[in-house]
Amino acid sequence: MSAAWFPRLRPFVALLLATLLAAQAAPPRSDGPYVLWEGQEARVLNVREGKAAETRLRAPYDLDLPGLGSLRLEPRLPIPETASLPLPERIAALSDIHGNLAGMTALLLAHCVIDTKRQWIFGRGHLVVAGDVFDRGGRVTDCFWLLRHLEAQARKAGGRVHMILGNHEVGALRGDERYLHPDYQELQKKLLGLDQKALYGPTTELGRWLRSRPVLLRLGPFLFAHGGPSPTMMAEEKDLDSLNAAFRRSIDEAGKPRLQGRDGPIWYRGLIPGKETKGPDASGEDVDRIVAAFGVRTIVVGHSTLKRGIAAFHGGRVHGIDADLQSGGPGELWLFKQGNCFQGRSDGSLRPLPMGEMLP
């Protein structure tokens, strides 16, 4: 869809955003579906209008997603995808959604990733979510199923959807409920009788999908992460697939796995000046070594909230894209198209962002 359609779309964007914000403000009396696999069948748990319900999912495994249609699932485990891919013609990225379905949907609509029916119209483009869909907001489950819906549609169109793990994904999978929205306490524990760790366990559909996602993703000259690789990490493993495989193995390990520490890819903040409170910021030389080691121009990270929106650091070698969706606001979308990077606002407007240079 060309930019000429933006003025015509804006009234629809405003109406959709107002509707979603109104729905998000009300206590969610519905939740799910949660799919719990039991061999070649699955239990499907839902809460609808304050009442819990359970059904069975059998072949051909078509799961109904209210407002989106059906999504075909498979009883076999998802295969982790390679973490290094050629540069696609277009990329859209956002991070730290934290259950803000309204903000995410409005951004994707404003920049022609989806249409007003929440169908994929981004063609062969790639959508990257750089972590932290979980916690704080009241529409976490809906966000995940929208991403799964778009993932299936994107593949048919030759595009891709990439979900990168953040610290809140890993925390939730390990049973950390400190940041869980209060409404989920009732919906999950009281009405479904299960806690978040069980609903996203290794044999659940969303749980095993998340456990197959990467923590570092390279698309051409861009490296995407939630927190980012630290100088400490650079002294160790630099192969993306090996690092992602090691991290996936650590998700359900007891204790405090090293890769989940403050210098690991889901917690490190030092790539954005002034955001690392537990140690020094990465120096310019540190950033040079990291981009050179991974063979990229720019590292794109979330995790550290930027109240003024998406911004470039270290001469364009680092882009911070956590534009405060967690507060319930409109946020911003990072975009790459026609060879350039942009800061995309919720009204569909764009502002150029500098990129770093390739280093030997």
- Select the more confidently predicted residue: 6 or 112: 112
Asked if residue 236 has pLDDT above 60, the reply is yes
Predicted model pTM: 0.91
Tell me the pLDDT band of 30, cut-offs 50, 70 and 90. confident
Dump the DSSP string for 124-177.
Answer: T-EEEE-S--SSSSS-HHHHHHHHHHHHHHHHHHT-EEEEPP-HHHHHHHTT--
Q: Answer whether 154's CB lies under 8 Å from 160's CB.
A: yes
- Select the more confidently predicted residue: 279 or 28: 279
Domain that holds residue 117: 76-353
Lowest mean pLDDT among 43-52, 85-94, 139-148: 43-52
Asked if residue 95 has pLDDT above 60, the reply is yes
Q: CA-CA distance, 278 to 276, in Å (whole number)?
A: 6
Tell me the pLDDT band of 357, cut-offs 50, 70 and 90. confident
Q: Does 95 fall in a domain?
A: yes
Q: Does 306 fall in a domain?
A: yes
Tell me the pLDDT band of 8, cut-offs 50, 70 and 90. low
Lowest mean pLDDT among 53-67, 187-201, 333-347: 187-201
Q: CA-CA distance, 108 to 333, in Å (whole number)?
A: 8
Cα first-last separation, the chain: 37
Asked if residue 81 has pLDDT above 80, the reply is yes
How many domains would you assign to the chain? 1
Residues 6+ apart with CB under 8 A from 188: 31, 194, 195, 196, 199
CB atoms within 10 A of CB 53: 13
Tens-place pLDDT, residues 172-203: 999 999 999 988 888 888 889 999 999 999 99
Q: CA-CA distance, 277 to 262, in Å (whole number)?
A: 10
Q: Answer whether 92's CB lies under 8 Å from 124's CB.
A: no
The pLDDT of residue 189 is 84
Q: Does 37 fall in a domain?
A: no
Kindly state the average pLDDT of the residues 134-145.
95
The pLDDT of residue 226 is 98
State percent of the chain over pLDDT 90. Answer: 81
**Which residue is associated with the tokens 């981009």?**
291
Q: CA-CA distance, 358 to 260, in Å (whole number)?
A: 29
DSSP collapsed to 3 states, 39-51: CCEEEEEEEECCE
Average pLDDT over all residues of the chain: 91
Rounded to 5 degrees, what angle do the CA atoms 12, 119, 16 make? 25
Q: Does 31 fall in a domain?
A: no
Asked if residue 351 has pLDDT above 60, the reply is yes
- Select the more confidently predicted residue: 65 or 237: 65
Q: CA-CA distance, 153 to 113, in Å (whole number)?
A: 11
State percent of the chain over pLDDT 70. Answer: 91
Q: Does 326 fall in a domain?
A: yes
Residues 6+ apart with CB under 8 A from 225: 130, 131, 164, 215, 216, 217, 265, 299, 300, 301
The pLDDT of residue 25 is 47
User: The domain that contains 137 carries what CATH number?
Assistant: 3.60.21.10
Tell me the helix, strand and coil percentages in the chain, rounded to 5: 30, 20, 45
Lowest mean pLDDT among 111-120, 137-146, 271-280, 329-338: 271-280
Asked if residue 93 has pLDDT above 60, the reply is yes
Tens-place pLDDT, residues 280-320: 999 999 999 999 999 999 999 999 999 999 999 999 999 99
Q: CA-CA distance, 214 to 245, in Å (whole number)?
A: 8
Tell me the pLDDT band of 170, cut-offs 50, 70 and 90. very high
Sort 58 into a burial class: Cβ within 10 Å, 0-12 / 13-18 / 19+. exposed
Q: Does 62 fall in a domain?
A: no
Q: Does 63 fall in a domain?
A: no
Q: Does 316 fall in a domain?
A: yes
